[in-house]
Amino acid sequence: MRNGLRSGCLSLLIMAGLCSVQGPTAVLGAEESPQGPPLRVPVDQVDGMQRATVILDSYSYTPQHLIVQAGKPVELILTSITTITPHNFVLRDDAAGFSIERDVSAGKTVTVQFTPTKPGRYAFYCDKKLLFFPSHREKGMEGTLEVR
Ligand SMILES: [Cu+2]
């Protein structure tokens, strides 16, 4: 009897632990649209960098729409929250001041820097794919960098 109670409490504790680990993700998914509203990337008061964190998941970037100012440096902190699937970040427009292609392995964080020179809307995306399957971009893993 005592042993039964004790192991019951233990499994409750374990379940509570699991719930608190999974909690934030579940709340985010429930209360917002998956990628949320456009983010006006703030300028860091110390180094003048327009800095933002972008979360990579299968198959999305959050935020999906970033707004930055031309002529000022941008730093994107690309953080993968997947456990297995590798992703990448492709943002390429030589005339606009960037040509980026960086892999972001599962669970890893990679930082990219560039200075956009030309106002416009530019797509960033993940071009990973398994042979014969649609690319991650085709599965919705793309976003917009809006340069003003
Ligand atoms: Cu991907």
CA of 139 to the centre of ligand 1 (A): 9
Query: Predicted confidence band at 117 (pLDDT cuts at 50, 70, 90)?
Result: very high
| Two structure tokens written together for 113 | 């820097």
Say what the pLDDT of residue 63 is. Answer: 97
CA of 95 to the centre of ligand 1 (A): 25
* Residue-wise pLDDT tens digits, 133-143: 999 999 999 99
How wide is the angle at C-alpha 50 spanned by C-alphas 48 and 56, nearest 5°? 150
Assign a CATH topology to domain 39-147.
Immunoglobulin-like (2.60.40)
* Residue-wise pLDDT tens digits, 28-70: 444 445 667 899 999 999 999 999 999 999 999 999 999 999 9
CA of 140 to the centre of ligand 1 (A): 9
